[in-house]
Amino acid sequence: MKVEIGKRLKSLRMGKGLTQKELAARVSGGLDYTYIGKIERGEQLPSLKILLKISEALSVSVNHFFQDDAAPVLVGIPFADLKRLVKAKKGSELLRALKLLHEDDIPLMVEIIHVLSRHRKALTRTTEEQVPMAAEEGAPYGKK
């Protein structure tokens, strides 16, 4: 996703005839132009707050950075999984909340879900990689 946001940013910036320095100067609150370069090269993923400021400076919706990613949202989701989601209390809450969602916000929501998924995988990996302490491996102290 970092590369896609960067490519879209560079395309938008160049389409408006701006240098990285000029764009950085337009961002509310200021931004270092080298940060723009890092985003464009896919070396840095901007926070949503920064991305909102950049989109304002470019006079585009923040959704522009996520446009193509949300198209096949339900493609590949088995009906049984959707049915399970509807029956679960938190799943039905999510579906009710989705009714309130504006169409333009869908790409951003999809990206948030992807970020949460990557975060959960990273946490799982970290937990699995932990080495048990010596006291956890054997019998508790003082017992045979």
- The answer to whether residue 136 sits within a structural domain is no
Query: Is it the case that residue 144 has pLDDT exceeding 80?
Result: no
CA dist., res. 118 & res. 131, Å (int): 22
Which of 32, 65, 98 is the last residue in one of the domains? 65
**Token output for 16:** 């408006």
Domain with 7, as residue range(s), is 2-65
pTM over 0.85: no
The DSSP 8-state label assigned to residue 140 in this structure reads P
As for how many domains the chain has, the answer is 2
**Is residue 45 domain-resident?**
yes
pLDDT band at 32 (very low <50, low <70, confident <90, very high): very high
- Average pLDDT taken over every residue of the chain: 78
Q: 74 lies in a domain?
A: no
- Among 1, 11, 9, smallest CA distance to 31 is for 9
Q: What percent of the chain has pLDDT over 70?
A: 74
C-alpha angle 14/53/24, rounded to 5°?
50
* Residues 6 and 58 both lie in one domain: yes
In this structure, the answer to whether residues 61 and 19 fall within a common structural domain is yes
pLDDT at 101: 83
123 lies in the same domain as 94: yes
- Tokens 């932990």 correspond to what residue? 130
Residue 42 resides in a domain: yes
Of how many residues is the chain composed? 144
Residues 59 and 88 reside in one and the same domain:
no
Decide if 123 is inside a domain.
yes
The answer to whether position 10 is within a domain reads: yes
pLDDT in tens, 55-107: 999 998 888 887 654 444 445 566 667 677 777 888 878 878 888 888 888 88
40 within domain boundaries: yes
Out of 8-22, 31-45, 117-131, which region has the weakest mean confidence (pLDDT)?
117-131
Residue type present at position 30: G
